[in-house]
Each structure stands twice: as C-alpha cells, then as structure tokens.
Amino acid sequence: MRALLVLLGLCVSAAAFAADPLTVKVGVLRQTHSRETISILDIPAADDVLAGALMGADDDNTTGKFTGQTFETIDALLQEGDDAGAALDKLIEKGARLVIADLDAPRLLAAADRARATGGLLFNVSAPDESLREDSCRADVIHVTPSRAMLADGLAQYLVWKKWSRWLLIKGSHPADELLAQAYRAAAKKFGAKIVEERVYEDTGGGRRSDSGSVQTQRQMPVLTQGAPAYDVLIAADESEVFAGYLPYRNWDARPVAGSAGLVPTSWDGAHEQWGAQQLQNRFMQRFRRIMNARDNNAWLAMRMIGEAATRTGSDDPQKLRAYLAGPDFLIAAFKGVRLSLRGWNQQLRQPILLSDGRMVVSVSPQEGFLHQTSELDTLGLDKPETKCRLQ
C-alpha cells in the first residue's frame, strides 16, 4: 500500500509539472580568451565554455521531459572593451535571469552589480580570485570554478604527502601571477612545506610561440633556475601563461615541476575517466569534436546545478534557485567520486581537485589523512572560520 501511495504521489507530481510547462532560459556570458598560448594545443576553441553549457542543457532536457521543463541557452560573446553589465542587461531582456559567467574579476563584479539591480543570478565558471569569495563576495554570484587557494591546497596536499616539502617558487611578473604565488605561500604555511627561494620571470612581451624557439628557450630556462638552494619541486606561478610551459625538462636541477606546468591542479582534465567521467568525455567529444576543458566542464556543471535546482523547486526564479543551492539539501554528482555541495558562507562549490600531468590524472585531492570536522573537501581553500565574506 505504501509503495502504491508513493507511486501515485509521483504521478500527481509529474502531472502537475506537465500541466504547467516551464522554459528556463540561461545566458552564457563569455569573454574572449587569448590565443597567444605557449602550446598550440591550448588555443581556445570558438565554442569554449558555450559547448559545456550546451551539453549541460541537453542533460537537463532529458530530465525535463518528465518534469515539463525545457532548458535553453542564449550565447553572449564579449569583445575586448565591451561592457559586461550592458551585456547582462540584454540577456535579462531576453528572459535569461540565470547567467553562466565566463568573466575576469572586474567584469564579474560589474555584472554582479547589474544582476543585483535586476534580480539575476550569476554562476562564475572561470574567475579564481579569492577576493570574489572574500571581501568582494556577492549574494548573486555562485562560484562553480575553484579558487586559487583550493587549487594550491590541492597540489600542496599531494606534495606534502610525497614528502616533497622544499619548494622553489618562480612567479611571473603580472598581477595575477602574484595572486597565485600568494595562494602557494599560504598553502605552504598551511600544510608545513617550505619555500626555499622565490624568483621572478619578467615578461618582456613578444609572441609566446613564434619568439621562443626551442634553442632560445633551452638556454633561458636553465639560467632562470640555476644556483637555487636545495629543493624538492619547482612551483611555477604563471597564471598569465608566459613561461611555465617551458620549465619541465629545462630547469637546471633534475627536479619535478608543478603548479602552472608539469603537475597541474585543475577542476577538470581531458584525461579524467574515473567515476563514470569517461561517458561524459565521450559524449562531449562526439558532439563537439574536441576535448572538454576545465571551463567547459564548469559551464556544464553550472547548467546541471540550474537544472537540479529548477527540478527541485519547480521554478526558474533566481532567488528560489539560490536558496535551494545554498541550502542543506543540495547535492550534485559531477563524476568526481563524491557529491558536491555549496559552502553556504561564500557560495563556493566544494569539489575535489584533480592533479594532471597533461596526459593522465596523477592524483585527486583532498589526500588521505587530511581531515576536517565537517567535510574533507573543506581542507581545500579558506574554511568558514577564516572567511571575511559577508554576502550582500
């Protein structure tokens, strides 16, 4: 009898959804990423980020067939100098109050200001800045991409587990490189590693592939790393992608390279296949004829979060979806071995960090033995007692 009542309840619920169909429109606000990459393999595709959102919409629409919900994406590609707030206004005019945002920190804050005035909700899929989760945290921004601290902590845990605790840190000369270096300094202090020396690689401009042939690079990199105190691993903080890719096999001492090259912490990797991830990789390759990168996966995950929240709440209202996502009942599968949830204090998605060498996933953090009273995932990044975030 109980099973019959449950079945009847499901039928009534499904009928209610079917009687009141809902179209959920999701904007994809994208910025153009530089094509001046060290490796030709890293040149961003024309559908970068958008492809992941489209794949996520496909998956949401599979469920939507039973709940009377349809999910649509509206693409908005920003050119250099375009105003993110104005672009957000146009998306909202088209009915997309839920927006997957592939923006740098200044543009994301500009879009968040406009979203606050218009009732929108942003899903940050590319900006790793700690400030967005701390002093400048916003209630209308959910962070799908991990922060720099989460990435640095994920790598640090593995290096400490390996007992590679003496690091040579080489950072780039751009502001973002210094922010990444700060994350590695904090990770070293947090987990008991020691930075034996810091060095700076000055970016003098020029083409990253055309002006840096193998002969010239082979001469530069050993000099950059020569004469350092004894160290176990070289950590490269090169978020601007200027020099780190040249370090492996060219540093003076026979030491592994990690950080922005070599062993790289990331939210997703094209070689990841555990926990059913291979089926997602295969579907993405079949449809878009390329490998799913981290931004693609973040966009896919953001769309899946929207789909999950819309299904559970029966609504596309941004405030209702935000309340569900930040609440205790939200969990989502993401092919990472555990279900993911949001940190309520700053709306950052908890998630494991993959450590990839470019060919395969070497390890996944958090590492065994790094414990936490609430969730081992909270050993990655700033924890609740450390946060300065006051959502506004």
Contact yes or no for 109/101 (Cβ under 8 A) = no
Q: Which of 266, 285, 309 is the last residue of a domain?
A: 266
- Identify whether residues 103 and 53 lie together within a single domain: yes
Helix (H, G, I), strand (E, B) or coil at 312: helix
On average, the pLDDT of the chain sits at 92
Q: Is residue 5's pLDDT more than 80?
A: no
Asked if omega into 128 is within 30° of 0 (cis), the reply is: no
Contact yes or no for 225/170 (Cβ under 8 A) = yes
User: In the prediction, which pLDDT does 214 show?
Assistant: 56
- Identify whether residues 249 and 313 lie together within a single domain: no
Q: Which of 12-21, 205-214, 270-279, 364-373 has the lowest mean pLDDT?
A: 12-21
Domain that holds residue 41: 15-146+269-351
CA 355 to chain centre: 14
Does residue 374 form part of some domain?
no
Residue 86 Cα distances to 75, 76, 91, 110, 382, angstroms: 14, 11, 9, 9, 32
- Identify whether residues 170 and 140 lie together within a single domain: no
For the residues of 179-230, what is the DSSP string, one character each? HHHHHHHHHHHHHT-EEEEEEEE----S-TTTT--HHHHHHHHHHHHTTPPP
Number of structural domains the chain divides into: 2
* pTM for the structure as a whole: 0.92
> What is the pLDDT confidence band of residue 373, given thresholds at 50, 70 and 90?
confident
> What is the pLDDT confidence band of residue 16, given thresholds at 50, 70 and 90?
very low
Q: Which of 87-96, 157-166, 367-376 has the lowest mean pLDDT?
A: 367-376
Q: What percent of the chain has pLDDT over 90?
A: 83
Q: What is the CATH number of the domain that holds 114?
A: 3.40.50.2300
- Identify whether residues 142 and 23 lie together within a single domain: yes
- Identify whether residues 64 and 125 lie together within a single domain: yes
Contact yes or no for 204/172 (Cβ under 8 A) = no
Does residue 373 form part of some domain?
no
The closest alpha carbon to 150, from 388, 387, 365, belongs to 365
Does residue 357 form part of some domain?
no
Give the H/E segment covering residue 77.
strand 69-78
Burial class (CB in 10 A: 0-12, 13-18, 19+), 123: buried
- Identify whether residues 275 and 193 lie together within a single domain: no
- Identify whether residues 100 and 36 lie together within a single domain: yes
User: In the prediction, which pLDDT does 36 show?
Assistant: 83
H-helix segments, 20-147: 50-67, 84-93, 105-118
- At which residue do the structure tokens 């989760």 appear? 133
- Identify whether residues 247 and 282 lie together within a single domain: no
Instruction: Give the number of other Cβ atoms within 10 Å of residue 222's Cβ.
Output: 13
